[in-house]
Structure 1
Amino acid sequence: MTIPMKQFKLHKLTMRLKNPFRTSFGTFQEKEFFITEAIDYEGNRGFGESVAFSSPWYSEETVMTNLHVMEDFLIPILKENEIKHPDQVTELFRPIRRNNMAKAALEGAIWDLYAKRENLSLAKALGGGKKEIDVGISIGIKPTIPDLIEKIHQFVEEGYKRIKLKIKPGWDYEVLKEVRKHFPDTPIMADANSAYTLNDMDKLQQLDELNLMMIEQPLAHDDIVDHAKLQSVMKTPICLDESIHSIEDTKKAYELGSCKIINIKIGRVGGLTEAKKIHDFCQEKGMEVWCGGMLEAGVGRAHNIALTTLNQFVLPGDTAGSSQYWEKDIIKPEVVVENGVIDVPERPGIGYEIDEKAFNHFTEWTKNYHF
C-alpha cells in the first residue's frame, strides 16, 4: 500500500518569541521557519516543521538553504518515487549530502500523513508506548545571576523536571555554583554549545563539584575524539548534541567513550527514522537519551512529544509548553505542561489541529508543488 501524495506545500512563517533567547553563539527573538504539508488524494494533511535558524550558528544550515534544498532537490525526489512507508524517505534522500534539517522537515510531514492514513497517533506509529512524558526547560543566558535565579524559581515552582542552563566562558562555574546553592536538589544540566576547548579542561573539571546531570556539548560542534579525552577525566556525564548527525556518529561516540548521554534532535539527525535508529542503538547499549528542542512552534513540538514516547527517552526533554515561548501558537490545543508532564495526544497523526487563524496570521507565503 502506497502513500499517494497529491501535492506538497511549503509555508514560510515568522513568529516572535516572548523573550530574546541568548546562547554562547548568539541572541535572537524572531524565528522564521517552514511548515511543510503533505496532502493525499483523500484530503488528509500531514505536517512537518523546519528547525534551522536564519543564520548558520547552530549548524551550517539556514532557513534559506533549507528552501533551496527542499525545493530544488528533495521535493523532486519525492515526486519521482512511490513511497509505501516513511522509513523509505531517509534512503531516498541519501544521495543528497547532509542538509539534515531540510530532510527532516519533509520527512516529518510524510510521517504525520502516514499516521493519519493508518488512523494511528504518531507516537504509536513510531512504536512509542508512553501516555505522558516528563519535560524540562531550557533557559538562555541572562543579564545577571539574580535574573537567572528568579527565572529558575519560576520554573521549579511550575514543576519542570529539570533545568537546562546555557553557559559560556565567563558565565559558567561561578554562575552554576550560585545556582546550586539556591537549588541544592534540583536536577540541573549545563549546555555549552561548543564554547570550550581542551585548554579549558581544568575549568570544566571544576563542574564536577556541582552534581550536574550532565554537561552538553562542551567542545567543538564536529568533535568526537576530544570529548572522549574530556569524559575520561570528568565524573559529570558528557552529553553530545551537535556532534551527532546519524546512527554512525552515535556508534563512534559510544565506541570511543565520548559521552554517556545522547541528545536526539529530529532535525539534526535528518528525521524521525534516523532518530529511531539512534534510540534503538542507545537502548541496546544502555545509553540514556533525551529529546532536545530547537525553539519549535507547535508542529515541531508535537513531533518531539511523539518521539519521546519511545522507551529509552529516560531523561526529561526540552519540549516545554507553547506558552513559554509564544503569545499564540499555531496548533490547538496548544501544548500544555502540568507539573513537568505533557499528556501524549491519542488522536491520529501529531494529535493536534492546525489553528488556521493563527497559522494564516504568521504565514508570509505558501508554495504549492503538485505531484
Structure 2
Amino acid sequence: MAHTGSATVTRIVELELIRLRPQAGGRGADGPVLVRVADDEGVSGWGELPHATRARWDALTSAFAPALLHHSWRRPTEAGEAWADLPWDPAVAGALDTACWDLWSRQRSTPLSHALGGERTALTAGVTLTRQVSVESVVTEVNRQVGAGFRRIRLEVEPGWDADVVRAVQTSFPFLVLQVDAGGRYTESPADLDALRAMDGLGLLAIEDPFAPDDLAAHGRLAAELRTPVALGRSLESVEDLTEAIREKSGDAVNVDPVRLGGLTAARRAVDRAVDAGWQVWCGSSAVTGIGRAATVALASLTGAALPVEMPGAGNRGRDLVLPPVRAHDGVVPVPLTESGLGHGVDRSAVAERTALALVVDADGTRELLRGRERRR
C-alpha cells in the first residue's frame, strides 16, 4: 500500500464533545471527546478522551492537536514526540495516540490488535460491580452477571464492606473467580490491615489499590505479607511509574489502562515491562464509549495480558457509538480480525445526535462547527 514506510502527516484533527445524557448542558466534564485524525488521503483514525474537563478540552484544542498537525511520523510510537514538551496529561495524550494507532492500522489494512503485536483471537471477560445497598443485592447482581456468562467478578470494597461481602458471594458461587478493587480506601491502621489480611485467606485473584495511589511503600509492605497478589492501577500514570513500582516491589499484578498511561504506545510498553518482571496483567479501561473499549480489546490481545479484560456488564445501557457494539458474549470478547484498525465502525448518526460541540483543527487554525439542530439541517 502507498502508505507503507512513508511518513504520515496529520492534516485534520476533529474533536467532538459528546453528551451521553441529553439533559446535560454546557462545556463541562459530563461527556467524552471523540478524537478523529485524518491523513492527506482522507484515511481516519479514532480515539477517546473519556472525561472532558474544560482544562483538558483547552489543552487538546490549543496545544496537543496543533502540535500533532505540525509533526510527521512513520510509526504511531513516534507520534508522541509531537507533545513531548507539553505539560503531561495522559488522558489527552492517550486520545491522540490511540487515534494515530487506529489511523496507521487502517492505512495498512491490518487489525489494530495485529499492529500492536497481539495474537489472541478471543478474550475472557470480567466485570466490575460497584457498591450495592446490601449484601443480598450484591449476590443478586452477581447472579445476573454470571447468568450473562461473566467468569470473573471484580467487587468494590472498603473498610466495613469487604471480607463478609466476598464470603457471601463465594457461598453462592463457590467456583467463581473473584478479585476486589479497594480504590485506595484503606490505611495501615491495625483495623484496616486486619481486614486486608482477612481477605487474603479467601482465594482472591487480586486485591487492587488498597492504599493511596502515591504510597508505593505501603503497597510493597502489604505485598510482602500477603499470598494474594496486590494489584496496582490508580498509582500508575506512566510507564516510569510502573518501573518504579516494580523496583520497589510494590505489587504482583497491574491493571493496564491506556487512558491512565497515555495511550496504546505506553500501555503496550507497560504490558511488556510487567510481564518481564513476572507480574500478572489485565487490561481495564476508563473509556466510556466503544471507541476506547475497542482499543482496550486490541491491547488485551497481547499474550502477556492474560487475566480477563474489563467489559461492561449485563444491564449496562451505555451507548457504544460504534457498530458492532464492543461487548462480551457468554463471557467472551471476540478480537476483530476481519476489519482494519479498531475493527468497529463509528456510528456517525448516533454521534451526531449526541454531539454538543465540534471543532476541526488544521494547520491553519481552528474552525468551530455547529451541532444539534443547526448541524443536522
Q: Is TM-score (shorter-chain normalized) higher than 0.5?
A: yes
CA distance in 2, matches of 1:331, 1:324: 18
| Residue 16 (structure 1) shift | 4.2
| 2:127–2:312 Cα contact (<8 Å) kept | yes
Q: Under a length normalisation based on structure 1, what TM-score does the superposition of the two structures give?
A: 0.90
CA distance in 1, matches of 2:229, 2:276: 19
Query: Equivalent of 1:370, from 362, 365, 368?
Result: 362
Contact 1:167 1:191 in 2 (8 A): yes
Give the conservation status (yes or no) of the 8 Å contact 2:93–2:262.
Answer: yes
- CA deviation digits over 1:187-223, x for unaligned, max 9? 0011011111111212211111211111110100222
Deviation at 1:271, TM superposition (A): 0.8
Q: 2:155 aligns with which of 137, 142, 165?
A: 165
Larger CA deviation: 30-39 vs 210-219: 30-39
**CA contact under 8 A between 1:47 and 1:108: conserved in structure 2?**
yes
Secondary structure of residue in 2 paired with 1:188: strand
- Superposition RMSD on alpha carbons, in Å? 1.7
**CA-CA distance at 1:327 after TM superposition:** 5.2
Correspondence for 2:311: 319
SS at 1:202 equivalent: helix
Task: Tell me if the contact between 1:305 and 1:319 (Cα under 8 Å) persists in the aligned partners.
Answer: no
1:291 to 283, 290, 295: 283
**Aligned partners of 1:113 and 1:32: how far apart in 2?**
23
**C-alpha distance in 2 between matches for 1:2 and 1:129:** 26
Code of the residue aligned with 2:12 in structure 1: it is: Q
Distance 1:299 1:286 in 2: 30
Q: CA deviation at 1:72?
A: 2.1
Letter in 2 for 1:289: V
Give me the whole-angstrom Cα distance separating, in 2, the residues matched to 1:2 and 1:117. Answer: 11
User: What is aligned with 1:331?
Assistant: 322
Q: In 2 relative to 1, CA 94–4 (structure 1 residues): closer, same or farther, beyond 3 Å?
A: closer
Runs of 4+ in 1 over 4 A off after TM superposition: none
Q: Can you list the C-alpha shifts for 1:318-360, whole angstroms capped at 9, x where unaligned?
A: 1236x74335421111123222111111211100111111111
Q: Deviations over 1:295-338 (max 9, x none)?
A: 521101110010001110110021236x7433542111112322
Tell me how far apart the structure 2 counterparts of residues 63 and 340 of structure 1 sit (CA, whole Å).
34
What is the TM-score with the length of structure 2 in the denominator? 0.88
Q: How far 1:142 sits from its partner (Å)? A: 0.9
Is 1:267 aligned to residue 259 of structure 2? yes
C-alpha spacing 1:351/1:244, structure 2 compared with 1 (3 Å):
same
Distance 1:338 1:363 in 2: 29
Q: Which amino acid aligns with 1:75?
A: A
2:346 is equivalent to residue 354 of structure 1: yes
Matches within 5 A, 1:40-51: 40-51=39-50
One-letter amino acid of the counterpart of residue 44, structure 1: V
Q: Which residue of 2 aligns with 1:307?
A: 299
103, 107, 112: which one aligns with 2:97: 107
Worse-superposed segment, 351-360 or 65-74: 65-74
Secondary structure of 1:137's match?
strand
Q: Which amino acid aligns with 1:8?
A: V
2:111 touches 2:336 (CA, 8 Å); kept in 1?
yes
SS where residue 163 of structure 1 aligns?
strand
Gaps of 5+ in 1: 18-29, 53-61
Residue of 198, 223, 230 corresponding to 2:222: 230
SS at match of 2:33: strand
Task: List aligned pairs for 1:1-371, cutoff 5 A.
Answer: 1-16=6-21, 32-52=31-51, 63-199=53-189, 200-320=192-312, 324-326=315-317, 328-346=319-337, 347-371=339-363
Cα offset for 1:116?
0.4
Amino acid at match of 2:228: T
The CA deviation at 1:91 is 3.1
The amino acid across from 1:338 in the alignment is: H
State the secondary structure of the residue aligned to 1:342. Answer: strand
Counterpart code for 1:341: V
Do the aligned partners of 1:16 and 1:326 also contact (CA within 8 Å) in 2? no
How far apart, CA to CA, are the structure 2 residues paired with 1:7 and 1:171? 49
The answer to whether the 8 Å contact 1:135/1:320 transfers is: no
| Number of equivalenced pairs | 349
Structure with higher Rg: it is 2
- In 2, Cα distance between equivalents of 1:295 and 1:108: 12
Counterpart contact for 1:90–1:274, Cα < 8 Å: no
